[in-house]
Amino acid sequence: DAGVIQSPRHEVTEMGQEVTLRCKPISGHDYLFWYRQTMMRGLELLIYFNNNVPIDDSGMPEDRFSAKMPNASFSTLKIQPSEPRDSAVYFCASSGTSDYNEQFFGPGTRLTVL
């Protein structure tokens, strides 16, 4: 297995533009997590899915952020419109059959909003 795959690895965009981050979890994993990491705020859980269903989105900062998981092998995190304060590394992670399994992180997407 190639592990968790994220694309793009780097994204530079201008304020106001729409940004879409993509994630392919490890096959067979039931849980998918989206995190944001910054120096100021550390590693923040944005949202997580169980069997493609959003379970907890309380970490999503505001309505500009949305996440979907249309099937077991694909998820997107969208920011519209983007702002400079959204600049961060966004990680996707997946885990097995329960919350208590190891989370496997993807390589992250470094987003810069100018």
Partner 1 sequence: GENVEQHPSTLSVQEGDSAVIKCTYSDSASNYFPWYKQELGKRPQLIIDIRSNVGEKKDQRIAVTLNKTAKHFSLHITETQPEDSAVYFCVVGSYDKVIFGPGTSLSVIP
Tell me which residues touch partner 1 (CB under 8 A): 33, 35, 42-43, 45, 55-56, 91, 99-100, 102-103, 105-108
Smallest distance from partner 1 to CB 99, Å: 6
Closest to partner 1 by CB, 65 or 91 = 91
3-state secondary structure 8-76: CCEEEECCCCCEEEEEECCCCCCEEEEEEEECCCEEEEEEEEECCEEEECCCCCCCCEEEEEEECCEEE
Q: Please tell me whether residue 23 adopts helix, strand or coil conformation.
A: strand
Smallest distance from partner 1 to CB 21, Å: 15
Closest to partner 1 by CB, 5 or 81 = 5
Smallest distance from partner 1 to CB 50, Å: 10
